[in-house]
Chain A
Amino acid sequence: MQIELKSLRPYPIPDKFIPDSEVWEKNLHIESGRKCLLSAQSGKGKSTLLHVLYGLRRDCSGEAFLDGRSVFSNTAEEWEALRKTRISLLFQDLKLFPQLTARDNLGLIPETNPKAPPVDEMLAQVGMEQFCNQPVETLSFGQRQRIALLRALRKPFELLLLDEPFSHLDEENTDHACRLIVETVERNQASLIISSLGDDPPISFDERFRL
């Protein structure tokens, strides 16, 4: 999915962060199938940008386009369709259902990505197969983060947005997760945007942006 930003600037971002940013109030064009890293300290708008691209925020000046269509002109029904089949987002706060098991959480998506690996294979790849039948509320944050990542990968997507996906993962689990992400993104020939606090995950990014 092609992404284009034109002088985009969220209203809550303080003026002092704007001149040094490579994104805010700049014109950006990201071609389909590119892997991008957004890195910045807290409060500089990493989640905000991902939420704008997912249709959750409109408090911005400038424009943002997905495949040439302004994200601000989409109707609720159009966003419903986009989220169902074309864009997948891993939220920073995960938005899992704590009383459900990990496996039930992975099943609770409106449509399954046919190009994603089977659930058990994915669970095994991130070391979660033995926890999959536990309610999510009994898992650690790192474990939950991996389940939320798998859920995002199990949805069909042309654009994958991952908001600080490795913040609670150790190096080994980060490596495993990154391999799974790259494999799935490439199978789907999708675009990828990962936000990070500054760490550089082991993925070969096509583009890197500092906010």
Chain B
Amino acid sequence: MNRSQERSMREAVRAKGSGWEIWIASLGCLLGSSLLILAVQLYQDSNRFFDEQVSPSNFFTLNKKIHGGALVNMGKGEKTFTQEELDQIEKMDGVMRTGGFTRNKFPLTLYIWPSGKVGLGAAAKTDLFFESIPDEFLDYVPDGWNWDENSSTVPIIVPKFYLDLWNFGLAPSRVEYPTLSNEAATGMPIELFIGNNREVTLEGRFVAFSKRINSVLVPESFLSQANEKYGKPDASQYFFLWKDGAVDGPPRTLGFLRDLPEEQKQSGEVSPIDSPAERKPISEILAAQTSDTHLPSRIIVQIEGSPSDAFLAKLEKEGYEINREFPEQDLVKKITNAIFLGMAIIGVLFSISSIATFATSFRLVVTQASEPATNLLLLGFPSDSLTKLFFQRFVLIFIPVFLFALVLGFGLQYLLSQVGKKVGIDMESGLSIWTLVFATIYCILFLVVNRAAIEKSVDNLAK
């Protein structure tokens, strides 16, 4: 068929009155395609964002629940995890690794000098505790974190919200305390007083503020040495020694019990100071203490992604308590994904209706041109050539609309990425290769469905 014939054929089958249906179908196609492309792209962007974040949702701390009031718990020892419990937690689905918190075993008081110089202005004074965890669980290892016996200062990491509490709670209410930037806070000298009577004084400094770990952290090397050097046994390590059916003298330490003659260890009895009536053989107490001495009462757990509901339910069932930051993060991710899913559903609905509207419109176009189209078939033109003619007309409308939808999707994604950057969400601008692959498949689907609809309509005319 030559060009002149093609032109004549197009002219012959041009029908009037089908314009508005095609305009509506084009608009639906534009909205649906743009929305779908944008939803697919933003879904990838949000997933990448959540995956790349060093998110607290991957880490949480775990301890056993504490029940009862102060009087009940007074003098009771730590609720430590047993080795079996730790092994069980390590084996849970999604758990990548665990690490134990080590706590200070000595009284500790801090003087923080916000003026930047010891003795200048007012110091913030507080009794405090230290903990340490393996370095791999830190948000990052800050400069100056290493400590050895020759170090002049003890590096300290505190939760970021401590600084926020200072800046937005304490400082505004006390004229002698200034608000502090991160840099200013890390420059503050800190005096560490160890012992009830402040027998030892050390220098300390904040080196970082953690968003992940809700504790006051010092290097493991410092804490293990300080515990060894200044540590005092806690209440759980004091026992009443029983002799002839009565308590014999003041509470005794584990060290004292260990030093008793072997014969007395086997025959003698002791009871914990918080429950004096529970007498047990000395040998049993020593065996239990030997195995539990280094077991933590609080652990940090790293898991893959966000914890599942089943995982959380299991922890709850075991009587463990977890820090509560990640469910909110998880909720944000779920809400974000739900929004994109909603967008995708609306996009799919728009697209389906636009495919259907296009298909219906072109069936109508064929029907409206049925008389000249039938005449062409009667002259001996093959039905394929007519299908091709109507399909070309569809392609001439659809492809520009689709390309415009791609540009629109690209533009909207670019705008959103710029807005995201302003609020600290780093998104890449532009459409990913997967979005383009999706768009291509979608375009092919659109073309195939509409070609089939046109072909069917022309075949009906031929019959």
Contacts and interface: CB of A to CB of B under 8 A. Distances in A.
A100 B378 contact: no
B5 interface: yes
A80 B385 CA distance: 12
Contacts of B379: 83, 95, 108-110, 155
B12 A100 contact: yes
Interface in B2-54: 4-5, 8-9, 11-12, 14
Interface in A51-110: 54, 56, 76, 80, 82-85, 89, 91, 95, 97, 99-100, 104-105, 107-110
A80 B4 CA distance: 22
Nearest to B384: A80
A108 B382 contact: no
Contacts of A100: 8, 11-12
B462 A108 contact: no
Contacts of A105: 8
A137 interface: no
A80 B380 contact: yes
B463 interface: yes
Contacts of B9: 108
Contacts of A121: none
A107 B380 contact: no
A207 interface: no
A111 interface: yes
A95 B8 contact: no
A2 B4 CA distance: 35
Interface string B379-398: 11111000000000000000
B411 interface: no
A97 B12 contact: yes
A106 to B, nearest CB: 10
B375 interface: yes
Interface size class of B (residues with CB under 8 A): 20 to 34
Nearest to B14: A99
Contact of B4 (A54, A85, A107): A107
Contacts of B430: none
B375 A107 contact: no
Given A80-B383, A107-B8, A97 B378 contact: no
B372 interface: yes
A76 B8 contact: no
A108 B380 contact: no
B12 to A, nearest CB: 4
B380 A111 contact: yes
A155 B378 CA distance: 12
Residue among B1, B378, B383, B462 having the largest count of chain A Cβ atoms under 10 Å: B378
Main secondary structure of the interface of B (DSSP, over half): helix
Contacts of B376: 108
A83 B376 CA distance: 11
Contacts of B463: 76
Contacts of A97: 8, 11-12, 372, 375
A155 B380 contact: yes
A89 B462 CA distance: 17
Interface in B337-384: 372, 375-383
Contact of B380 (A56, A84, A95, A99): A84
B4 A95 contact: no
Nearest to B7: A104
A85 B382 CA distance: 12
Given A97-B372, A97-B375, A104 B382 contact: no
A108 B6 CA distance: 9
Contacts of A109: 379-380
A85 B380 CA distance: 8
A80 B5 CA distance: 18
Nearest to A151: B379
Contact of B462 (A54, A76, A82, A91): A76
Contacts of A76: 383, 462-463
A95 B374 CA distance: 9
A108 B12 contact: yes
Contacts of B381: 84, 110
Contacts of B5: 107-108
A5 B353 CA distance: 53
A95 B11 contact: no
B382 A80 contact: yes
A108 B379 CA distance: 9
Nearest to B382: A80
A95 B378 contact: yes
A37 to B, nearest CB: 24
Nearest to B2: A107
B421 to A, nearest CB: 57
A189 B161 CA distance: 103
Nearest to A96: B375
A100 B375 CA distance: 14
Interface string A190-208: 0000000000000000000
A108 B8 contact: yes
Given A76-B462, A97-B372, A97-B375, A104 B380 contact: no
B98 to A, nearest CB: 74
Residue among A108, A111, A155 having the largest count of chain B Cβ atoms under 10 Å: A108
Interface of A: 54, 56, 76, 80, 82-85, 89, 91, 95, 97, 99-100, 104-105, 107-111, 155
Going nearest first, the 10 A-B pairs with the smallest beta carbon separation are: A84-B380, A83-B380, A97-B12, A95-B375, A110-B380, A104-B8, A108-B8, A110-B381, A80-B382, A97-B372
10 contacts: A76-B383, A83-B380, A97-B375, A99-B11, A99-B12, A100-B12, A107-B4, A110-B1, A110-B379, A111-B380
Given A108-B8, A108-B9, A155-B379, 8 more contacts: A83-B379, A89-B378, A97-B11, A97-B375, A100-B12, A107-B5, A108-B5, A108-B12
